[in-house]
Amino acid sequence: MEYSRRYERVLVGILFFTWGTIFLDRMAELYLAPYFAPVFHLNDQQIGLLASAVSIAWAIGALLLGAASDRFGRRKILIPATLIFSTLSWVSGLARSFDELLLMRALIGLAEGPCWVAISALNEESSHPSRRGRNVGIVTSGAALVGLFAAPILTTQIASRFGWRWGLFVTGIPGLLMALLIWKYIKEPEKSAAGEAMHTRGTPISQYFSVLRYRNIWLCSIGAGGFISWLFLQNTFAPLLITRDMHQDPRTAGFLLGAAGLGSFFLGLSLPSLSDRVGRKPMLLLLAIVSAFLPLALLARPLYGHLWLLAAILFVTQGGQAIAALVIVLIPAESVPPEFTGTAIGVANLVGELIGATVAPTLGGTLAESHGLGTTMLMATGGIVLLFFVVLFMKETAGPRARAAEPTVTATI
Does residue 67 form part of some domain?
yes
CA dihedral 296, 301, 305, 309 (to 10 degrees): -10
Does residue 407 form part of some domain?
no
* Cα-based angle 209, 206, 219 (whole degrees, multiple of 5): 10
Does residue 202 form part of some domain?
no
State the pLDDT at residue 191: 62
Does residue 200 form part of some domain?
no
For residue range 131-173, what is the model confidence (pLDDT) as tens digits?
Answer: 878 888 888 888 878 877 787 778 878 888 888 888 888 888 8
- Asked if residue 91 lies in contact with residue 390, where contact means CB atoms within 8 angstroms, the answer is no
> What is the separation, in whole angstroms, between the first and last Cα of the chain?
26
- Asked if residue 378 lies in contact with residue 366, where contact means CB atoms within 8 angstroms, the answer is no
Q: Which domain holds residue 41?
A: 5-188+207-401
- Asked if residue 155 lies in contact with residue 62, where contact means CB atoms within 8 angstroms, the answer is no
Residues of the chain with pLDDT under 70: 1-3, 191-209, 399-413
Does residue 62 form part of some domain?
yes
State the pLDDT at residue 404: 43
d(CA 309, CA 323) in angstroms, rounded, equals 24
Does residue 199 form part of some domain?
no
Question: Total domain count for the chain?
Answer: 1
What CATH number should be reported for the domain holding residue 129? Answer: 1.20.1250.20
Coil/strand/helix, residue 318 = coil
- Burial label, 75 (beta-carbon count in 10 A; 0-12, 13-18, 19+): middle
Indicate the length of the chain as a whole number.
413
CA distances to 21, 22, 30, 88, 126 from 26, rounded to whole Å, are 9, 6, 8, 11, 26
State the pLDDT at residue 385: 96
Does residue 113 form part of some domain?
yes
